[in-house]
Amino acid sequence: MIIYRYNLKKYIIPKIGDIRLAKYTLKEHQEFISSLFNDGLSLNTVKLINGTLHNALKKAVAIGYITKNPTVGVEFSAYAKDNSKKLHFWTKDQVGSFIEAAEEDKEPMWLSFFVTLIDCGLRVGEAMALRWSDIDFSKNTLSVNATRIYRAETGSNAGKIALDRPKTLSSKRTEYMTARVNDLLQQQYERHFSHGNVQGFRFSTSHNNDFVFTYSSDAKFGQPLRSRATTGAFNRITNRAGLPHIRIHDLRHTHAVLMRGAGLSLDDIKDDLGHKDISTTQIYAEISPAKKKENHQQFEKYLNQ
């Protein structure tokens, strides 16, 4: 997978590539993990890098190069608290203000892109990897089958598209679209494939890309998104709306908080977001002030019965 090769080239080989396999113990591995945290990487990223190395060394054990996998027993708990960040999200009204500002943007694609993130809870890479074959307007669904690894689209790979499988097995999923997402994606489709728009059609089919989110403006027509462009557009629209700054990924948190506020269970949100287990979703248990107040009122009502 692309992300495994990226982890090897970016983190594993530069830091521990000169250590002989037989000399690499749990002690060295714990120091390696600690150095990744010291570099400012998030807990999830460090665990992903650890998983890459764990799988490689597991094969080394099976082949007989080593007798024990040195990644087994590594500790993350000491860093989890320090690396945890407070969730940032927008309220329903703030989402409305953002959408109004996005409607005024000269590039209409951004409106459909950001509303899809908000309403469907997709990761940015998942949305960037969507193809028209993933969209079923009649069933009102979109399917997550791939993700863009935009970190691997830099340097010598600049200008290329790096696609990989979704983050986890559970990340491969089918989502129902809201009415406004369905409508906006149909508009996006018509901009590229209607009225004899040969240029967009040729770009999508001949390169076997068929990406949903490509530029609609003449200068960049048909070109797929780049990570830096999504950040720039998001910040520009956020400023226009006068909203507090959050990351694009926080739109996924916003989606989960809005679902929680609508009364959906954590299990439902887990499946919707494509989380591997409920522990990841647990961060939304009491994140909504309205939901917390409702729970308190329900508890107090029970006590007074």
To which residue do tokens 């409920």 refer? 278
Instruction: Give the pLDDT score at 303.
Output: 58
Contact 292, 286 (CB under 8 A): yes
DSSP summary character for residue 244: P
Task: Please name the amino acid found at residue 4.
Answer: Y
Q: Tell me the Cα Rg of the chain.
A: 22
**Model pLDDT for residues 104-131, shown as the tens digit of each residue:** 999 999 999 999 999 999 989 999 999 9
Q: Predicted confidence band at 225 (pLDDT cuts at 50, 70, 90)? A: confident
Contact 120, 251 (CB under 8 A): no
Q: What is the mean pLDDT of the chain?
A: 82
Query: CB neighbours (10 Å) of residue 198?
Result: 9
Which residues, other chains included, contact 171 with Cβ-Cβ below 8 Å and sequence gap of 6+? 123, 126, 144, 147, 274
Domains and CATH numbers, the chain: 2-83 (1.10.150.130), 92-253 (1.10.443.10)
Q: At what angle do helices 92-103 and 250-261 cross, to 10 degrees?
A: 130
256 vs 240, more confident: 240
**Model pLDDT for residues 43-70, shown as the tens digit of each residue:** 878 888 999 999 999 999 999 999 999 9
| Torsion angle of C-alpha atoms 212, 103, 177, 201, degrees rounded to 10 | -20
Contact 92, 258 (CB under 8 A): yes
* Phi-psi group of 18: left, alpha or beta (phi > 0 → left; psi -120 to 50 → alpha; rest → beta): alpha
Nearest to 127 by CA among 91, 181, 74: 181
**Model pLDDT for residues 38-48, shown as the tens digit of each residue:** 887 878 788 88
246 vs 287, more confident: 246
